Structure 1
């Protein structure tokens, strides 16, 4: 978490416990981008590695709903919202999904994204 913050999001409350305590978070907190990268790794391991993934055109509704702290245990979720075959590229499917991260019952991160996948015959 600290190495990520040092390299990609070096805001004081992501790097230093005292600065974190003085912030609105009340303690050292993870970068939201770090939380997103943990979600992405879990998604890649669980779904993408053995899929026909062709990337993604992007997403929307990215929200960091609560700070994540050292020692927190997160559970990652994936919910398919819709799926369709591309009109312009018939061999390509578009899957819209919601990704989430929860700490216990509290959702701390969520977003909506579209994945591109090769279709099966």
Structure 2
């Protein structure tokens, strides 16, 4: 408030928005008190516990889709699940990089958008979420 618009501030907001969308949590939730924050929770979960931190609705929708397509080979399902988890990790890493505490440490918005497009293209190429 009272300051000029600055791309480093905008990229911070973009990063927090990504974290909110993919975790289903708000940075103002009561669970974040003291030094605990949405960003810190995501950092602690990456990469091994990404499924624990993403919005359960995202995981549920994938699992429901997997059940509907039970004619796919098990190897196919495993490959798709790995691609989805890798994509979630990458997206959350972008959110973390964009929302770094110090503005000079934040990811440039053009790099963030390019990375999101790269993830989308990988998912499309693998016919995931067309």
TM-score between the two structures when normalised by the length of structure 1:
0.28
Q: Greater RCO between the two (CA within 8 Å, min separation 6)? A: 2
